[in-house]
Structure 1
Amino acid sequence: MARPRKRQRPVRAPGIGDDLQTTTHEENAPGREEGIVEKTEEDEVNNKKKKSEKGKKMGTHKVDGKGKEEENSEKVERSSSFVANQVVETGNDQVVFEFTESLNKRLRSAVGGRRVNYCSQDQGFEEEGDEVFSRRKRKKGKRQKRKLSKLKAEEEEEEKEKEDDNDKEVIDKEKDGESDRKGWKRRNEPKNEEKEAMVETRRYPARASKAPKRMGEFVSDNTAKKKTLSKDSIMCHQCQRNDKGRVVNCKSCKRKRYCIPCITNWYPKMSEEEIADVCPVCRDNCNCKACLRMDGPVNKLKEALEMKFSGDEKLRHSKYLLRALLPHVKKFSEQQMMEKVMEARIQGSSPSEIKLKQAVCHPAERVYCNNCKTSIVDFHRTCPLCNYDLCLICCQEIREGHLQGGEKEVTVQYVNRGFEYLHGELDSSMLTEMVEPLDSPTKTNCKELEGVESRWKANGNGSIPCPHKEMGGCAEGLLELRCMFKENAVLKLVENAERIARDLNVEDMPETTNHQCPCYSSMAEVDLGDCKLRKAASRKDSNDNYLYCPSAKDIHNGDLNHFQRHWAKGEPVIISQVFENASGVSWEPMVMWRAFRQITNSKHGQHLDVTAIDCLDWCEAQINIHQFFKGYTDGRFDSKEWPQILKLKDWPPSNKFEERLPRHHAEFHYCLPFKEYTHSQSGLLNLATKLPEGSLKPDMGPKTYIAYGVAQELGRGDSVTKLHCDMSDAVNVLTHTAEVKLKPEKLAKIETLKQEHCSQDQKEIFGMAKVDQEIYMGNGGLHKICGNKFEELQANEAGAVWDIFRRQDVPKLKDYLKKHFKEFRHIYCCPVPQVVDPIHDQTLFLTLEHKKKLKEEYGIEPWTFIQKLGEAVFIPAGCPHQVRNIKSCIKVALDFVSPENTGECVRLAEEFRLLPQGHRAKEDKLEVRKMILHAMCETVNYLDPQAKIMLKLQKHA
């Protein structure tokens, strides 16, 4: 029969003068009182013998080659006797057990002993004991301390040799975010023998001691001691470790130091001398996890970001806004007055007698037309029974008999033919699917449009009934005219704006575009001696082939007018070296990940997996963020050795950018030029800042765009941003690049696959049996099209190739794309079967071959240039553009609305309303008309405080 299991437990908490006892008992033994042990006579004799031996010298002997202490003090004997004694059985069949080594370590030491703090090897200390230790013994202990120090030094050397072998593994774990500080401390904690030796060898406090004077000896405060110790410390500020060898001490603060591995991994662009002169902490650009989340550097940048304008500057900018926005506000007011006149005709009264109801609307709501999805700002028609809303443009189109904007969703099907199809595998059955010629027109929903127009018509007096249920209405009531603001608020705004414009002679102000640009001579020729220009096109009989490209440090107060001359013409502007005056926070991908992640909270595990898009088949996939960044620097290839071009989708989310990356967010805003336009909170010429507090605001960024790239144009799958047109102005800054160099064998394999892709295109798209091997020009044709040599792609600063089209070339560009859209590939790498709008669909990318054909057939070409590291590209609204990375890039973009391009934003909103339902660009999220009204209201009230124009919504009925 098995013997009952025995348990160990302490009798009670030990105290001064007590002998520590541990008992066990058999759980099923009857008649035993648990936890009570009677001392035997032998125990009492042993205890008296221990007390008589107090004060004897301590001895040291070798056990298995390691130092072992023998302490004869009362405290040591009291605990060590349990190790030496054998198991003693009492007369009551109770058993007294010795303290095992593991249990002894777990139990708290008796009061009067010494406690050792192993918080770090540099600043560990042992607290002094009670009065039982005489001063004479401490003096004798010093001699023993010198003997043990030699043994400890030998052990430390052996331990460091073992740890140096694991340095590389630890650095990799630090990058992977897999190592934790607790694990490091446990690994660096001394062994058991070292702990016993350190009891007599380490004696310096780690914190300000509150202990009183003991035995006439003063326990010194640790503050001064700390400063002395920090000079000899080798603890790295970045990794918080002291076992990585040599460190570089800062001569400026004389407190921080960085180890060589951390300098190599986290500060590759800084030399040891630069860190020694001024360390990253002193520069406010330390990228350790703790510093990245500190508020100090962020607050400094925010203070520097505060825009302070003089009275003259505010007056000049306000007059500029008044002149630019007045035509749009007047047109908006005229449309509302026309509808009010129509309402008076319906009711059979004069417009002055009409009193409109004010709709109930909360500022945080977006009201849009149920038919065309465009935003509603003020006047609109609504059904009192079902609340169906209709904008004024749709009302006019219904009366004219050609309602637009309500087309049903167009669904384009793409067939997934597998991985082999991506690289040229083409079955004969696939060829039979191409039954339509390449120049066949795009399918439209003509029958659906006719059905919508025939079923919804205005009444004879101009009133409009509520539409049928299939269209979202109730088909019972009449649509009533209502207003969002007070009835005459916009009319009063226009009247006051016109009066102020007359008083200030705003109409007599010269046009910005009429000024003589310093970039051109008096003969309207380009001044090539000015280094602020960059050639981006080779159009004949054109003076806009060069783009304005100043350096950030060369921008002065007068350069804002120079910028406005080019900006008002709809030309892109490039600003170089925007990070030259920045604090220098690192935009390395692993630094951004370290700042963004929250590994200390298990609820935030989803931040380690992100959604990436493969630019070859434009499919989404989940990928570990560290694996993505590893491919960012080293490259990724599929099973066919074809480079994978991945890009992150919405990482980090724009609504979390400031919260999770506060230093990067502040650094980005600090470096942006022309803050009158780009400041997201107080830019006087940024209409996005004019919306009132509490109102629903569009997402203007900043947004990050992180994607791979290779220098060679692959022709398939290397477009990170396809041709599209933003609804507002934008500025895009290249913050980081990483070059992935392809080996010769990789390049040879890529060329072979490109030929297979070419053959597949010829058979599947063009229906040719013979393949024209010269369809792809390769990189050699780049200089013929954009004036750039291939060597520029290999430059250290080069990051991405931009193609930006002029606004006046958009109609011809659309004609070309509608003619050739089936020559492009999109999802699953399938040919595009249909386009609704070739630009707003964002499914096409023009390769070198297509840009060449575009110029031959239609005589147009884009501005093509290479964006370099630290350059900010300003893209005007209404200019279609596309981007191809030639290196792995991190770009950060911010949207804004400038007064010069408000007309283009309104035109784009009108284009978006014509798109079918469900289109990616259908909804009017910008609400530019609302921005124009609020910007004009703020401007009028500033120029004339007596006007007191208010644009308030009615929150409650």
Structure 2
Amino acid sequence: MAMICRDRLYSQVYYRKRRRQDTGGGGLVEKGEGILGIQSEGAKGEEDEESNLTLALMMKKLREKKKKTASETQPVSFEGLEHKDFIFDDQIGGQNGKREEIKVIDEEFQQNGDLGFATEELDDEIEEGFMKKRNGVVEEKKVIPDVSTMCHQCQRNDKGRVVRCRGCLKRGERKRYCVHCIKNWYPNTSEEAIAEACPFCLGNCNCKACLRLDVPRRCLKNREIGEDERLEHCKYLVHQLLPYLKRINDEQVREMVFEARRQGLVDFEELEIEKSNCRVGERMYCNNCKTSIFDFHRSCPGCQYDLCLMCCREIRDGELKGGGEETVVTMGQIAQRNGVRTRSVKPSSSNPKFDWKADKDGSIHCPPEHMEGCGKYPLELRCFFPGNEVMELVNKAKKINEGYKIMHASSETCSCINPVDDGKSRKTASRGDSEDNYLFCPRAESIQPEDFEHFQRHWMRGEPVIVSNALANGSGLSWEPLVMWRAFRQVNNTKHDKDVELQAIDCSKWSFTDVNMHKFFTGYSEGMFDAKHYPQILKLKDWPPSTEFDKRLPRHGTEFVCCLPFKEYTHPTSSILNLACHLPKAAVKPDMGPKTYIAYGIAQELGCRDSVTKLHCDMSDAVNILTHTAQVTLKPEQLAAIDELKREHREQDQKEIFQKYGKSGSEPQEEFDDACEGAALWDIFRVQDVPKLEQYIKKHYREFRHIHSKPLQQVVHPIHDQTIYLTVEHKMKLKVEYGIEPWTFVQKLGDAVFIPAGCPHQVRNLMSCIKVAMDFVSPETVGQCFRLTEEFRTLPPDHRASEDKLEVKKMIVHAVLDAVEVISGKKKRPKPRRKKGTARRKARVFDKTNCI
């Protein structure tokens, strides 16, 4: 007698890799990994032992019943099961009393002789009857109501009432979610909403099987860009980048003139420059200043010492910059009292500074061995691009730019200067006689084409932009920390459940500490406190590593890209106005994200223990989305401990800072209500205010603490050291002494904050929050990228920001190359990706030149 257990009903499922498992006296049960759509429910997941036993008992009883009766159709019952839990084949069209097992034979497994029991999904809302063809005979099949209680989320049927989805009927794959899982994993979704369209239908299911799916990166809500608009973007790109392309060309022409003069040539165009032997996929840096080299440079034929054109110019001018001293790090008294061992770090010994000078003809010799050179040969001019390609590119760009008219930032008055109550602006500063106190703040779901031009107007001025409710553009996938942890664990540890150790930043010491992954995520929601009830504030930066984000968390990576506003700039692979997207496929690309920042936070200000991102300045633009928040409820004893901690810090400040330097010890605090809607307090400074900001920090740096609560003894660079957080008192003094103030606002859940390159900024977390950021390089901020590159190259060799990882000059050249080819018709619009499983064409290598 054939029957189907409702606990195992899923449509169009066939079982693979069947293996026999002992069920403890109940016989052997065949089980395997199923496939449902792309991935079956519970594939590789844990099978419920009780459900396995039930299935085994059921199959054993059926075999015994089939031997005893050949034609009777009496109700069959088993212990723990009811008659309604089964369907008999004579109820679904069996003929002449014949009862046979229904099987589905997949073509692939038919060849291997591997068959699996069929499973079918029935529902009481579909038509009363339908036709089924079996053994060449068309038969009418009765519809039996769906009585299964198997939850799609937990793969269990013993957790009580389930909510059945009506939206799945269109695909014949009805899903059910138990009330327990709905409350636990979808707390913001009602049962009625799940009955209308379940998480599986909406694409935001966070069960183990669905979290493992490697879904394609497609965003249905994206606005399609037409060919005319694409051409307009390319012309805009050429217009914005032409001045910087000329600057790059002028540097190269200057070096070619020196080389032609040294070789006795009349015209530098007669030069034959040898190509560098740097292989494709490698990245080359200047040995002296750590700036990236993308084309012209000088190299030693003996030891391969490489020198950038900027260093060559400075050597000839007699003012070579860079090469500072290592810093000395000590610890403070609070850290010592808490059991942290003190240590002193002495600067490393260095050789006398080499007086590097050029010869009379402008040639430069390789430096001595202590500077990584050999000191034997003159440096020879090398290149990556063939001939005078950059010069020719400048001429093509000039022709395209002739007659091109572009809107200017000051050409028309922006509505944000005199804002109306339209919800598209937010006051973030109170500067006198200023037109930038309000920031552009549209809602993601209501962005129109004219809002893109509005965004560009503010972006040209170097102003931040806040897009609220950016998560509305996604599918609604949960960013709960435990969901991310489960997804990460399933991909990373499919064969074992060992928890991963993480390196988190302890904000009380500003040092790394090892913490168990599950413990960290539990503390994120519930808080973590030491024996004295002091809150432990931890931060997890760039987890998982951005280079592995799409591999470790593929669903979340796709969800984040779908949520990004203004994808003409922010899409990581196809943004026309993102210079990073124009690099050749074989080139080594900079790390642009996505980058995840998971941090504990409380509304009470803790001083040096605060959960903050200290003042810093990024080389590239960035968009930062607040994807999740959690409010930690503090107990009375914990609040008392916080007050004690504040008092201890005030006493230490009075003793170590204020009395020593004659300052006042009364410091106003920036307090926020526990019911505050926002989760992160942002301070973003204008680019034009950077010189005054640096002057203030140089004047007051001794009033700040950093590693292990020790007051700062020196600053190498006021901003790039990333050792300063400006409290409310310092922001007030900054305005009084220098007349500047930042844009200050609170980031709410779903807010996407756009930060222009070159704008110093800092963040304080008012509650536990998860932020995901993506870097991009827009044509409007390339000038700031140049400025920061110049600043970074003058930092000491051991400084955290001394290395040029962005390679903006390479991006400029390739972006203009791409734009010129599109405008001239040589480069066609990229075709959409072929569907998975279809034949693949041989990829054409995108290689305009032999450059990296």
TM-score range, shorter chain: 0.7 to 0.9
Distance change in 2, residues 1:276/1:667 (3 Å): same
- Aligned ranges 1:297-376 → 2 under 5 Å: 298-299=215-216, 302=218, 304=220, 308-350=224-266, 351-376=268-293
Matches of 2:498 and 2:460 in 1, distance apart? 45
Residue in structure 2 matched with residue 514 of structure 1 by the alignment: 410
> Shift of residue 770 of structure 1?
11
SS in 1 for 2:504: strand
Matches of 1:855 and 1:710 in 2, distance apart? 27
Residue in structure 2 matched with residue 125 of structure 1 by the alignment: 59
> Shift of residue 270 of structure 1?
0.9
RMSD: 3.6
SS in 1 for 2:449: coil
Matches of 2:724 and 2:533 in 1, distance apart? 25
Unpaired runs of 5+ in structure 2? 1-21, 30-48, 104-117, 123-142, 829-845
Sequence identity (%): 52
Q: Is 1:729–1:874's contact at 8 Å kept on the other side of the alignment? A: yes
Distance change in 2, residues 1:132/1:864 (3 Å): closer
- Aligned ranges 1:711-730 → 2 under 5 Å: 711-730=603-622
Matches of 2:810 and 2:238 in 1, distance apart? 16
Residue in structure 2 matched with residue 756 of structure 1 by the alignment: 648
Matches of 2:230 and 2:360 in 1, distance apart? 52
Matches of 1:611 and 1:704 in 2, distance apart? 14
Residue in structure 2 matched with residue 273 of structure 1 by the alignment: 192
Residue in structure 2 matched with residue 863 of structure 1 by the alignment: 743
Residue in structure 1 matched with residue 33 of structure 2 by the alignment: none
SS in 1 for 2:608: coil
Q: Is 1:364–1:694's contact at 8 Å kept on the other side of the alignment? A: yes
Matches of 2:546 and 2:85 in 1, distance apart? 53
Q: Name the structure with the higher helix share.
A: 1
The amino acid across from 2:687 in the alignment is R
- Aligned ranges 1:414-453 → 2 under 5 Å: 414-415=330-331, 419=335, 421=337, 451-453=352-354
**For residues 762-786 of structure 1, what are the alpha-carbon distances to aligned partners after superposition, in whole Å with 9 as ceiling and x for unaligned?**
112233699966x231336xxxxxx
Q: Is 1:512–1:564's contact at 8 Å kept on the other side of the alignment? A: no
**For residues 81-102 of structure 1, what are the alpha-carbon distances to aligned partners after superposition, in whole Å with 9 as ceiling and x for unaligned?**
xxxxxxxxxxxxxxxxxxxxx9
Distance change in 2, residues 1:132/1:466 (3 Å): closer
Q: Is 2:89–2:99's contact at 8 Å kept on the other side of the alignment? A: no
Residue in structure 2 matched with residue 463 of structure 1 by the alignment: 363
SS in 2 for 1:632: helix
Q: Which has the greater radius of gyration?
A: 1
Residue in structure 2 matched with residue 825 of structure 1 by the alignment: 705
TM-score (norm 2): 0.82
Residue in structure 2 matched with residue 219 of structure 1 by the alignment: 100
- Aligned ranges 1:552-567 → 2 under 5 Å: 552-567=444-459
Q: Is 2:533–2:637's contact at 8 Å kept on the other side of the alignment? A: no
Matches of 1:921 and 1:770 in 2, distance apart? 33
SS in 1 for 2:439: strand
- Whether 2:669 is the aligned partner of 1:778: answer yes
Distance change in 2, residues 1:367/1:744 (3 Å): same
Residue in structure 2 matched with residue 250 of structure 1 by the alignment: 165
- Aligned with 1:644 (options 523, 536, 540): 536
SS in 2 for 1:119: helix
Matches of 1:514 and 1:378 in 2, distance apart? 36
The amino acid across from 2:353 in the alignment is V
Which piece of structure 1 moves more, 222-231 or 241-250?
222-231
Q: Is 1:650–1:704's contact at 8 Å kept on the other side of the alignment? A: yes
> Shift of residue 531 of structure 1?
2.5
Matches of 2:379 and 2:386 in 1, distance apart? 19
Distance change in 2, residues 1:817/1:259 (3 Å): same
Matches of 1:131 and 1:620 in 2, distance apart? 66
SS in 2 for 1:121: helix
The amino acid across from 1:953 in the alignment is N
**For residues 188-210 of structure 1, what are the alpha-carbon distances to aligned partners after superposition, in whole Å with 9 as ceiling and x for unaligned?**
xxxxxxxxxx9xx99958999xx
Residue in structure 2 matched with residue 482 of structure 1 by the alignment: 382
Matches of 1:403 and 1:600 in 2, distance apart? 48
Matches of 1:735 and 1:826 in 2, distance apart? 29
- Whether 2:180 is the aligned partner of 1:261: answer yes
Residue in structure 1 matched with residue 850 of structure 2 by the alignment: 953
Distance change in 2, residues 1:131/1:577 (3 Å): closer
Which piece of structure 1 moves more, 407-416 or 932-941?
407-416
Residue in structure 2 matched with residue 112 of structure 1 by the alignment: none
> Shift of residue 638 of structure 1?
2.1
Distance change in 2, residues 1:117/1:620 (3 Å): closer
Q: Is 2:680–2:763's contact at 8 Å kept on the other side of the alignment? A: yes
SS in 2 for 1:233: coil
- Aligned with 1:382 (options 299, 304, 307): 299
- Aligned ranges 1:43-82 → 2 under 5 Å: none
Q: Is 2:291–2:804's contact at 8 Å kept on the other side of the alignment? A: yes
Matches of 2:168 and 2:593 in 1, distance apart? 37
Matches of 1:700 and 1:713 in 2, distance apart? 32
Residue in structure 2 matched with residue 814 of structure 1 by the alignment: 694
- Aligned with 1:584 (options 458, 476, 480): 476
> Shift of residue 690 of structure 1?
0.5
- Aligned with 2:147 (options 211, 222, 232): 232
> Shift of residue 374 of structure 1?
0.3
The amino acid across from 1:594 in the alignment is R
Matches of 2:611 and 2:65 in 1, distance apart? 79
Q: Is 1:457–1:464's contact at 8 Å kept on the other side of the alignment? A: yes
The amino acid across from 1:249 in the alignment is R
- Aligned with 1:410 (options 326, 351, 354): 326
**For residues 153-200 of structure 1, what are the alpha-carbon distances to aligned partners after superposition, in whole Å with 9 as ceiling and x for unaligned?**
6xx8xxxxxxxxxxxxxxxxxxxxxxxxxxxxxxxxxxxxxxxxx9xx
Matches of 1:103 and 1:852 in 2, distance apart? 72
SS in 1 for 2:642: helix
> Shift of residue 122 of structure 1?
6.9
Distance change in 2, residues 1:233/1:133 (3 Å): closer
- Whether 2:314 is the aligned partner of 1:397: answer yes
The amino acid across from 1:474 in the alignment is C
Matches of 1:602 and 1:220 in 2, distance apart? 34
Distance change in 2, residues 1:419/1:922 (3 Å): closer
Matches of 1:324 and 1:763 in 2, distance apart? 53
Distance change in 2, residues 1:220/1:947 (3 Å): closer
SS in 1 for 2:292: coil
Matches of 1:751 and 1:103 in 2, distance apart? 59
- Whether 2:836 is the aligned partner of 1:939: answer no
> Shift of residue 134 of structure 1?
4.5
Distance change in 2, residues 1:479/1:772 (3 Å): closer
Matches of 1:132 and 1:541 in 2, distance apart? 92
Q: Is 1:117–1:126's contact at 8 Å kept on the other side of the alignment? A: no
Q: Is 1:125–1:204's contact at 8 Å kept on the other side of the alignment? A: no
- Aligned ranges 1:515-530 → 2 under 5 Å: 515-520=411-416, 526-530=418-422
Residue in structure 1 matched with residue 488 of structure 2 by the alignment: 596
> Shift of residue 232 of structure 1?
1.3
> Shift of residue 650 of structure 1?
2.6
- Aligned ranges 1:10-49 → 2 under 5 Å: none
Q: Is 1:356–1:481's contact at 8 Å kept on the other side of the alignment? A: yes
The amino acid across from 1:366 in the alignment is R
Q: Is 1:575–1:871's contact at 8 Å kept on the other side of the alignment? A: yes
> Shift of residue 306 of structure 1?
7.5
> Shift of residue 560 of structure 1?
1.0
What is the number of equivalent residue pairs in this alignment?
752
Matches of 1:768 and 1:131 in 2, distance apart? 94
Residue in structure 2 matched with residue 89 of structure 1 by the alignment: none
Which piece of structure 1 moves more, 822-831 or 738-747?
738-747
Q: Is 1:486–1:951's contact at 8 Å kept on the other side of the alignment? A: no
Residue in structure 2 matched with residue 904 of structure 1 by the alignment: 784
SS in 1 for 2:298: strand
- Aligned with 2:796 (options 889, 910, 916): 916
